């Protein structure tokens, strides 16, 4: 079984929090350089079962800054 390249985790980039919902995510580089993979964290900081690819071009300015700057 093969997975789409944007779902293949390479390396963790950072942890970010959605300013609108407060939900935290671990963000990973993927096998496709155009995507990040976001994994939802539960309230205790453990990765849940929800993960989804996000095109880097679709990120908000604040998310790009947080991922690039390590905040």
pLDDT in tens, 2-53: 678 988 899 999 999 988 899 999 999 999 999 999 999 998 989 988 999 9
Confidence of residue 1 (pLDDT cuts 50, 70, 90): low
How many Å apart are CA 42 and CA 17, to the nearest integer?
12
What is the structure's pLDDT at 68?
Answer: 82
Q: What is the pTM of this model?
A: 0.86
Find all residues with CB under 8 Å of 12, minimum gap 6, and list them: 26, 27, 28, 29
Order of strands across the sheet with 35-41?
A: 9-17, 24-30, 35-41, 47-55
The 10s digit of each residue's pLDDT in 48-70 is 889 999 999 999 998 898 888 65
- CA separation for the pair 43, 29 (Å, rounded): 23
């Amino acid at each position: 079984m093969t997975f789409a390249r944007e779902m293949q985790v390479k390396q963790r980039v950072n942890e970010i929090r959605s300013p609108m919902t407060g939900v935290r995510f671990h963000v990973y580089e993927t096998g496709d350089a155009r995507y990040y993979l976001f994994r939802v964290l539960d309230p205790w900081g453990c990765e849940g079962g929800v993960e989804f690819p996000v095109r880097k071009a679709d990120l908000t300015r604040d998310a790009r800054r947080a991922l690039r700057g390590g905040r």
